[in-house]
Structure 1
Amino acid sequence: MDEQVLRSLIKWPNVPDCFGWLALDRRGQWRMRDEFTQQNKLPGQVITHTALNEFISRNYACDTLGRYFFQNGPQRVFITLDITPWIARITPSENGSELLTQCKNPIKPSSALSDENGNIYIVGIVNQVQFSKEDSQTVALLHDHDLDHFSQLAKLHEEACSFGGSWIWQGKQLPLDPILSEELAARFNFVAKPSEKVSS
């Protein structure tokens, strides 16, 4: 987390939290959602300012209730998630390919999941060293631009309403199991639409 953010938390520890004004879409884009956008259930405007995107990504974290937020100075801005708290991309690297989140955190995958809509999710450890001393297992939606690449790595067999099988990542065979999309939040302990009324 940025040093200036940590300093502001000490100086102003009791600034009210903000809900509904920032979202993460299924393409890994941050979106601003004003009152009109929220009232009309619109996706919001994509943030294109590079420095602001990087600032949000550096100060993105999760609380003990599974609510993801952006620490904007002394204020905690909770994120509305379109689908998962992380969006994964398969990115070229010196060792062939790597999996990175929308925040450029590396993902160490342990498995993958496929749902009834054809989405692929990467399950694994995301290094969140800027927020926590511990790595945490979580889930990331694979960006739809990388589905063709993933299909080249996978051996699929049809399951009820989904697909299962395995996939090869950096020489290791990993499982690919079916899941219903409605099960994701409970299984991976995240809140897609945080609100002040979330119970502890």
Structure 2
Amino acid sequence: MTTPDLSTDVRWPDVPAVHGWLSLDRRGGWRLKGEPVTHAGLNGFLNTNYRSDSDGNWFVQNGPQRVFVTLDYTPLVLRLDVDSSLTAHTGATTAPAIAAYLDEDGNVLLQVSQGVGLLDDRDLPAFVEQCQADDGGPASDAAFTEVMGGGSGVGSGVIWHGLPLQSIRHAEVAARFAFQPRPEP
């Protein structure tokens, strides 16, 4: 019996990519054909193998196969930890935020070196508490409303950890941050 030569370039079989089966919801939960993924092992696998390509498509690498992810909003969902650090839905600690945005619906988006992430809505009260006005006092409801309405952003009077809260439109997020919310075959 001859032993195969494994020193040569071993190629993956030609496996088609999968579209429309896997999605990421607004709280960082995985969904398979619309149903929540509850199995801890599968969640761990999805989190570990989640990445993007140069075209801004996000996918899970499953051996030779790419399972493209439909995004409910952004490719990352971020949690605000007690010490104000950020953790991605995958469980990875992220770099500190480099920009903060508020859309017309009151969603907070934070840009980190890994990309843009939607702040989990369960962390909005803590985020708002940490925001300040330009003078160091608490940020007013009127200032948040101005940013949501498309106010100038920088100089809006709302600051979070030294970052001015900037206005952004939901419809502009994917193009601005170069990701595909619904990868096409």
Normalised by the shorter chain, which TM-score bucket?
A: 0.7 to 0.9
Question: What's the Cα RMSD here?
Answer: 1.5
**Partner of residue 32, structure 1:** 32
Aligned partner letter, 2:183: P
TM-score by length of 2: 0.81
Q: Give secondary structure in 2 for the equivalent of 1:14.
A: coil
> CA separation in 2, counterparts of 1:24 and 1:11?
30
Kept after mapping to 2: 8 A contact 1:118/1:162: no
Name the count of aligned residue pairs.
159
- Do the aligned partners of 1:114 and 1:162 also contact (CA within 8 Å) in 2? no
CA drift of 1:175 comes to 1.8
Shift, 1:14, TM fit: 2.3
2:159 partner amino acid: S
Partner-residue secondary structure (3-state), 1:100: strand
Match of 1:179 in 2: 168
Structure 2: stretches of 5+ with no match in the other structure: 1-9, 133-138
Measure the CA separation in 1 of the matches of 2:106 and 2:150.
7
Matches within 5 A, 1:1-200: 11-33=11-33, 44-92=34-82, 96-107=83-94, 108-126=96-114, 138-155=115-132, 156=139, 157=143, 158-159=146-147, 161-162=149-150, 164=156, 165-168=158-161, 173-196=162-185
Mapped contact 2:79–2:120 kept (Cα < 8 A): yes
Larger CA Rg, structure 1 vs 2: 2
| Equivalent residue letter for 1:66 | G
Q: What is the CA distance between 1:75 and its match in structure 2?
A: 0.7
Deviation of the 1:97 alpha carbon: 3.3
